[in-house]
Structure 1
Amino acid sequence: MVAKSVLFVYEGEKTETQVHEVFERHYFSSKQTSIKVAFGAEIYQLWKRMASEEYLDVLEVLKERALINHDEIAPLKRGDVSEIYLFFDYDGHTSLSCDEDLGSMLDYFNEETGPGKLYISYPMVEAVKHINAVNDFLDTVFNIPDGKSYKKLVNDETDYMHLSKIKKSELDYVVLQNCKKANYLVQGDRAPPEYQTVISRLSQGQIFRAQLEKHILRSNQVSVLSGFPLFTVEYFGQDALTALYHGR
């Protein structure tokens, strides 16, 4: 029996691929069969295309695009893929951004074995390395209208300039800080969350609603948060989170 593939869909090609490679190197088994695809546009464009024909399957939408690895995607059928994960930016500064649409997307893309599971980075993918020893990451926010300057800001402030060189212990710290921040954002608790809390109270939809209520609508900001760390904890389960807490 041929093993099914896990499909990872990213907004962009360069940075997202680097992030995936780092997480893959430190956390994933080399035996896993995965396919990585860059959509090459914002999540709002993906949603517009899917909604135009009563929610097309995301795999079919990908096949329509001139992807770099189109030959790898073209023969795939939904039955060949066991799970679909989508990683996109909030991108609130762009002309196509729509909070109502994003809420609908998070409701729709909420099951990896179904239509797919969506993870959002606020404000964008570079949030994964927006951590340093000076500022408390839990309190780090960003002004949405300044989105075009975010990458430069991160490069100026990060302690992890070169993602490809990040150590396992450093990546563990990044994952843990993002879990704590999600807990603080949603529940007002600065402590590391228990695994059941991550699963039941820190969903991507709950995080978005907290962003909307506490930051986006109130001050036109987002609380800086990466989607990759929470995916990692949800994917690998309670043992992975326990290992992070014990520094293993």
Structure 2
Amino acid sequence: MDNNILFVFEGEKTEKLVSKSIKRIYFDDRTIITCAYCNNLYNLHREISADEDLDTFSLLKSMGINRDILAPYDRTDFAEIFLFFDYDGHDTVADDDKVLAMLNFFNEETEQGKLYISYPMVEALKHFTGNESFRDLKVKCKENINYKKLVSDEAHKEFLQLNNYEREIWNTLIICHLSKMNHIVEDVYKFPIRLMFQDEIFEHQLTKYISVDQTTAVLSAFPLFLHDYFGNKSLIEKIKK
């Protein structure tokens, strides 16, 4: 198996800007190939559920949008597959049981892939309002709140342009989003001392926010991915550089 990494995104534009930034700062020694599903998590669940023998890579490669990108590759060319999707709780086909099922299905990057969810959407990465206020930042997730505009109106301006993300901005976002993850799961807003499972995070989102008042704590998938990928100690060392 090759040393390549496959990133699978729900969309094409914003996610690829994030990927480009992550690769430049953290993965300059690895080859990252990106492709898009261009549909939501719930449709992915429907397609996977319809065929128990369906392979994630084969599904993606069969899609016209990925044909040129993935044509030179087979599944064995990728050591790891990571999927990044939005929670999209306001979608007409939204189903929290299906979200949990997908997190349990896509839980191994060397097999069908590992799934990371942004709450409520990929723009959560940019929705930074200050360290203390970010701890309690939550938004309605079962209705369309025009989240992109909300982020544009509320976020600190230096975090809005993904093209401008350098190590300092990433360090801030990593610390704050991982502290927020720890707050969601452990009720303590500080950098975690352990890795946390994606289904564990979702279950706490569900019991503390979604099922209580139909909100979700704002949380980006990308700092969580970096935490899992590098581990607690190595990520702290990268932040200190």
TM-score normalised by the chain length of structure 2? 0.93
Show structure 2 runs of 5+ residues with no match: none
TM-superposed CA distance for 1:63, in Å, is 2.1
Match of 1:40 in 2: 38
Match of 1:128 in 2: 125
Indicate whether 1:26 and 2:20 are aligned.
no
RMSD (Å), alpha carbons: 1.7
Report the secondary structure of 2:73's partner residue: coil
Q: Answer yes or no: is the 8 Å Cα contact 1:10–1:37 preserved in 2.
A: yes
The equivalent position to 1:238 in structure 2, one of 212, 223, 232, is 232
Report the secondary structure of 1:145's partner residue: coil
Q: Answer yes or no: is the 8 Å Cα contact 1:88–1:121 preserved in 2.
A: yes
Report the AA paired with residue 132 of structure 1.
T
Call closer, same or farther: CA 1:148–1:64 in 2, change over 3 Å.
farther
TM-superposed CA distance for 1:110, in Å, is 0.7
Report the secondary structure of 2:64's partner residue: coil
Q: Answer yes or no: is the 8 Å Cα contact 1:130–1:157 preserved in 2.
A: yes
Distance in 1 separating the partners of 2:186 and 2:132: 21
Indicate whether 1:143 and 2:140 are aligned.
yes
Match of 2:68 in 1: 71
The equivalent position to 1:220 in structure 2, one of 214, 217, 220, is 214
Indicate whether 1:5 and 2:39 are aligned.
no
Report the secondary structure of 1:136's partner residue: helix
The equivalent position to 1:206 in structure 2, one of 194, 197, 200, is 200
Q: Greater shift after overlay, 18-27 or 110-119? A: 18-27
Report the AA paired with residue 11 of structure 1.
E
Q: Answer yes or no: is the 8 Å Cα contact 1:91–1:147 preserved in 2.
A: no
TM-superposed CA distance for 1:135, in Å, is 5.9
Distance in 1 separating the partners of 2:72 and 2:45: 23
Deviation string, structure 1 residues 67-107 (Cα, Å, up to 9, x no partner)? 1x412313532222110000000000011211001100000
Call closer, same or farther: CA 1:101–1:55 in 2, change over 3 Å.
farther
Match of 2:84 in 1: 87
Show structure 1 runs of 5+ residues with no match: none
Call closer, same or farther: CA 1:53–1:191 in 2, change over 3 Å.
same
TM-superposed CA distance for 1:242, in Å, is 2.1
Call closer, same or farther: CA 1:134–1:84 in 2, change over 3 Å.
closer
TM-score normalised by the chain length of structure 1? 0.91
Distance in 1 separating the partners of 2:179 and 2:130: 16
Percent identity between the two aligned chains: 39
Report the AA paired with residue 42 of structure 1.
N
Match of 2:177 in 1: 178
TM-superposed CA distance for 1:244, in Å, is 5.7
**How many residues were matched structurally?**
239
Poorly superposed stretches of 4+, deviation over 6 Å: none
TM-superposed CA distance for 1:55, in Å, is 4.8
Distance in 1 separating the partners of 2:238 and 2:153: 27
Match of 1:16 in 2: 15
Distance in 2 separating the partners of 1:218 and 1:244: 37
